[in-house]
């Protein structure tokens, strides 16, 4: 392998030359030096493909054209536009960062990548990308695509996730920075190489400008780099999701500010099912009502959870319906319970399996204040102090779809409309 110093100018020249001829130039967030638009696109592109991001980016910029409009918006508005894009903590950080920029930096983005990296939700690589694209700063990026390019070109037999290896990758990325080359083109070129040529599987080496100096290519071991991390089996978590509807409206609750789907709207859920219930769910292949409900085991467990955790006393004659509804309310009209398909979703550290309990209620019009307090959403709110200050809304399906809701919940609602 050539000495790194002799590769530096050659590496940057090849990347920039290729980007100008064959790189991507018509992405919705390109051809601008506006740090706000660059920042929004970089956050959205984290762990998300360009084709998925593009319509979200365009809607987001139309609604929030600058950092001031984003800072003045409510978190609900931001989450609603983000709904379906995934990794929702990004939206919360985006909103918090906009407020910080307006309140602390008078609405102007810092130009120094080190200062940018101190803002909420902006890491070292994202800060460098913003600085390079918006301010032509000489700053190194190191996202997953760039790691793959560097690992192959220099045959780095390193675990890209370990702290020690990351220092090596960062040192290499910084040593390769060009002295007098167009930084936006160089930065975009590295991103484009990883996204269009140096693919994780079946890299298109014949189109890569670095094939002549790529150590992995010369050894015929392109797909051996970067070193693959050992696959881990994600542990399972079991919840119970509860769909409460009168045929026209559905009960939606705001989730806590921390944890899964933080601050988003979702269906009510029980997130600590007893072992006996989990066993009943996992051992049964049935998707019908009979599996967990015929022996009343699940309703009994739900009643116990609400009594012990939330100190809510429920009438024993109707507790199965009322506890399923997460309510301390009168459901004297007809109640129908139905066990539906599991809601399943993989997160970074676990896989969620959540049986869906549909609760169909027929309600009579409520006139006086005391009775209105027993409406599902109001009854839920009355107990909010005991369940994490969650808010609730009793909405039509089309109204619920306008909220900031997780993709899995959105699909359930859309399928029901």
283 band by pLDDT with thresholds 50, 70 and 90 = low
Q: Token match 């390193």: residue? A: 158
Rounded to the nearest 5 degrees, what angle is found at the Cα of 57, between the Cα atoms of 56 and 58? 95
Tens of pLDDT, residues 326-374: 443 333 344 455 555 677 888 888 888 887 777 776 554 444 444 443 4
CATH 1.10.340.30 fits 4-224, yes or no: yes
Average pLDDT, the chain: 79
Residue 185 · residue 193 · CB < 8 Å: no
**Which pLDDT does position 287 carry in this prediction?**
42
Task: Say if residue 209's pLDDT is above 60.
Answer: yes
Following DSSP, what letter does each residue of 161-198 receive, concatenated? TSHHHHHHHHHHHHHT--SSS-HHHHHHHHHHIIIIIS
User: In CATH terms, are 4-224 and 236-416 the same topology?
Assistant: no
Q: What is the pTM of this model?
A: 0.78
Q: For domain 236-416, give its CATH number from 3.20.20.140, 3.40.50.720, 3.30.450.20, 3.90.79.10.
A: 3.90.79.10
Average pLDDT in the 283-302 region?
A: 43
Residue 332: its pLDDT value, please? Answer: 37
pLDDT at residue 151 in the model: 96
Distances (CA, A) of 281 to 47, 207, 293, 340, 354: 32, 51, 10, 12, 9
Helix (H) or strand (E) holding 358: strand 351-361
Q: How far is CA 214 from the centre of its chain?
A: 34
Instruction: Tell me the backbone φ, ψ of residue 371, rounded to 5 degrees.
Output: -70, -35
> Predicted confidence band at 319 (pLDDT cuts at 50, 70, 90)?
very low
Residue with tokens 């306008």: 402
DSSP string covering 209-278:
TTTTT-HHHHHT-GGG-SPPPPP-PPPEEE-EEEEEE-SSEEEEEEPPSSSTTTT-EE--EE----HHHH
Q: Distance (Å, rounded) from C-alpha 390 to C-alpha 388?
A: 5
| 71: its two tokens | 């800072």
pLDDT of 242 reads 80
Domain ranges within the chain, ordered by starting residue = 4-224, 236-416
Rama region for 326: left / alpha / beta (φ>0; ψ in -120 to 50; rest)? left
The pLDDT of residue 278: 60
What is the pairing mode between strands 269-270 and 335-346? Answer: unpaired
Token pair for residue 310?
């939330």
Locate tokens 């990794």: which residue?
Answer: 87
**Region 93-119: what's the mean pLDDT?**
97
> What is the Cα–Cα distance from 10 to 409, expressed in whole angstroms?
50
Angle at 357 between CA 279 and CA 259, to 5 degrees: 75
Of the candidates 42, 103, 338, 375, the residue annotated as catalytic is 42
For residues 217-235, give the mean pLDDT: 86
The stretch 280-299 carries a mean pLDDT of 44
Q: Which residue has the higher pLDDT, 110 or 374?
A: 110
42 is catalytic: yes
* 3-class secondary-structure state, position 335: strand
Please answer whether residues 373 and 380 qualify as being in contact, where contact means their C-beta atoms are separated by less than 8 angstroms.
Answer: no
Report helix, strand or coil for 414: helix
Output the pLDDT for position 159. 86
Per-residue pLDDT for 196 more than 50? yes
DSSP code of residue 295? T
CB 40 within 8 A of CB 94: yes
Q: Which helix (H) or strand (E) holds 145?
A: helix 144-153
pLDDT on residue 395: 80
Give pLDDT tens digits for 234-267: 888 878 788 877 777 888 888 888 888 888 888 8
Q: How many CB atoms lie within 10 A of CB 47?
A: 11
Q: List, in sequence order, every residue forming a beta bridge with 244; answer none if it has no partner.
A: 359
Indicate the pLDDT class of residue 64, thresholds 50, 70 and 90: very high
Q: Are strands 240-245 and 351-361 parallel, antiparallel or unpaired?
A: parallel
The single residue listed with the structure tokens 């292949």 is 285
């Amino acid at each position: 392998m050539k000495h790194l110093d002799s590769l530096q100018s050659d590496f940057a020249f090849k990347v920039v030359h290729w980007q100008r001829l064959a790189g991507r130039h018509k992405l919705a967030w390109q051809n601008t030096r506006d740090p706000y638009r660059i920042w929004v696109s970089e956050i959205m592109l984290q762990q998300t493909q360009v084709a998925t991001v593009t319509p979200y980016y365009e809607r987001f910029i139309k609604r929030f054209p600058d950092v001031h409009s984003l800072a003045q918006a409510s978190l609900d508005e931001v989450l609603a536009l983000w709904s379906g894009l995934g990794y929702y903590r990004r939206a919360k950080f985006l909103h918090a960062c906009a407020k910080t920029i307006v309140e602390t930096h008078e609405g102007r983005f810092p130009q120094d990548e080190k200062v940018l990296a101190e803002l909420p939700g902006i890491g070292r690589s994202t800060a460098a990308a913003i600085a390079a694209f918006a301010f032509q700063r000489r700053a190194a990026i190191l996202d997953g695509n760039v790691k793959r390019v560097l690992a192959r070109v220099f045959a780095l037999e390193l675990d890209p996730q370990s702290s020690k290896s990351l220092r090596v990758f960062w040192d290499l990325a910084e040593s390769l920075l060009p002295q007098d080359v167009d930084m936006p083109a160089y930065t975009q070129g590295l991103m484009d190489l990883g996204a269009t040529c140096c693919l994780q599987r079946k890299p298109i080496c014949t189109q890569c400008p670095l094939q002549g100096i790529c150590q992995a290519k010369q050894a015929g071991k392109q797909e051996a780099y970067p070193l693959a991390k050992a696959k881990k089996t994600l542990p399972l978590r079991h919840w119970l999701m509860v769909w409460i509807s009168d045929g026209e409206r559905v009960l939606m609750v705001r989730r806590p500010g921390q944890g899964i789907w933080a601050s988003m709207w979702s269906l009510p859920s029980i997130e600590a099912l007893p072992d006996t219930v989990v066993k009943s769910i996992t051992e049964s292949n049935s998707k019908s009502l009979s599996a967990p409900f015929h022996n009343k085991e699940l309703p009994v467990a739900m009643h116990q959870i609400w009594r012990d955790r939330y100190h809510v006393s429920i009438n024993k004659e109707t507790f199965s319906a009322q506890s399923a509804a997460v309510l301390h309310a009168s459901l004297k009209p007809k109640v129908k319970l139905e066990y539906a398909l599991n809601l399943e979703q993989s997160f970074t550290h676990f896989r969620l399996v959540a049986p869906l309990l549909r609760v169909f209620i027929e309600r009579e019009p409520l006139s006086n204040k005391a009775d209105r307090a027993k409406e599902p959403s109001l009854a839920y709110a009355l107990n909010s102090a005991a369940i994490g200050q969650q808010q609730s809304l009793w909405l039509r399906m089309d109204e619920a779809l306008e909220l900031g809701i997780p993709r899995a919940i959105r699909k359930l609602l859309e399928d029901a409309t």
